[in-house]
Amino acid sequence: MSWNRRHLITLEELSLAELEQIHNVAAAFKKVLGRSVKKIPALRGKTIVNLFLEPSTRTRMAFDMAAKRLSADVISFDAASSSTTKGETLRDTAENIAALGADMIVIRHNCAGSPLYLSRILNIPVINAGDGSHEHPTQGLLDTFTMKERLGSLRGRRVVILGDILFSRVARSNIHALVKFGADVTLCGPSTLVPESLRSLGVNVSHDLRSALADAEVVMLLRIQHERQTASMFPSLGEYTSMFGLNRTRAGWLHPNAIIMHPGPINRGVEIDSDLADGDRSVILDQVTNGIAVRMACLYLCAGGRPESVTPAN
């Protein structure tokens, strides 16, 4: 199957076959990253601009490294010293970046829909690196890639996403991917952050932590996103932690081989205790590492790379 998309905006719009294709290409690139020479010439001569208008550590650095491993030139846009501080619009900023010769833009923005908007204006590929509370497609791809590495097929696997679902683009992208992979997904947290309406996405909703975690094979913690909340969704952080924080006792309710995930940044002692974040069952740093190969796959495919050139024919 060939890859026919120029942009990567959401996981909602991708088919199961497309998700699997990205994972297959990422698996091939992960082998490249294990070699002594970790670089291939696939995007030599191309320039990728990382247009991050919201803070990031993992995503921006992983996109930087992914582009460099593919031999592209990379420019990281510095929002604080840019003309956006003088009121320049997103459209003008992006059109100027394209006029300077960028071959691809990776955008993070606090406004949902910004990547889709740019993809309709520009003649170059646009990749969504997180747009408001909407989607974070490469995070959903790297998370499901990491789960498949540990568990094999995700069909019927019990996955719990715990915490601030309402404001989480990570949750939304993971839900779209996990449902297509056939996982049995439960969203858990206070009813203010995990509304019943989310069942329409094909998942279970629970406000009872013990029954949600019972025998789950994956638990993914999410950070409380104060920056996106306009009202108080629970009385205090201490009360959130006492009811929904993952500690050693509660981790004991999970399946014995369960893995613990978190997209970062972690609020240690709030949504997860440090000994679990750093413990044997944690795959949090594997998620970060896998983010490079997964983003290499996304850049490569959206730049017109042929999947069969890096993966064995099926």
Could you say which of 56, 192, 206, 311 contacts ligand CP (CB under 6 A)?
56
CB 47 within 8 A of CB 23: no
> Which strands, in side-by-side order, build the sheet including 126-131?
73-76, 47-52, 104-109, 126-131
Query: Residues 116 to 135: which contact ligand CP by CB under 6 A?
Result: 130
Q: Is there a contact between 4 and 125 (Cβ–Cβ < 8 Å)?
A: no
Q: By rule CB under 6 A, what count of residues binds ligand CP?
A: 10
> CA–CA separation, 116 vs 126, rounded Å?
8
In the complex, minimum distance from the CB of residue 58 to ligand CP, in angstroms, rounded to a whole number: 4
Q: How far apart are CA 97 and CA 103, in angstroms?
A: 9
Stretch that binds ligand CP, among 14-22, 56-64, 67-75, 187-195 (CB under 6 A): 56-64
Which CB, 28 or 288, lies closer to ligand CP? Answer: 288
Residue 314 neighbours by CB under 8 Å, 6+ apart: none
Q: Are 259 and 281 in contact (CB under 8 A)?
A: yes
Pick the closer one to ligand CP by CB: 265 or 269: 265
Does 115 bind ligand CP (CB under 6 A)? Our answer is no
Task: Annotate each residue in 137-156 with x if it binds ligand CP (CB under 6 A) or - if it does not, as one string.
Answer: --x-----------------
Which position among 10, 21, 50, 59 is part of the footprint of ligand CP (CB under 6 A)? 59
Q: With CA atoms as reference, report the closest residue to 171 among 189, 149, 152, 156.
A: 189
166: tokens are 């309402």
> Should residue 264 be labelled a site residue for ligand CP when binding is judged by CB under 6 A?
yes
x/- map, 290-309, ligand CP, by CB under 6 A: --------------------
Among residues 163, 245, 263, 307, the one that binds ligand CP under rule CB under 6 A: 263
Report the residue from 1, 31, 44, 57 that binds ligand CP according to the rule CB under 6 A. 57
Q: Which of 58, 228, 250, 281 binds ligand CP (CB under 6 A)?
A: 58
Which residue number is nearest to ligand CP in terms of Cβ? 59
Closer CB to ligand CP, residue 18 or residue 54?
54
CB burial of residue 71 (10 Å; 0-12, 13-18, 19+): middle
CA distance 155 to 179: 9
Neighbouring C-alpha atoms within 13 Å toward the C-beta of 110: 9
- What residue ranges bind ligand CP (CB under 6 A)? 56-59, 130, 136, 139, 263-265
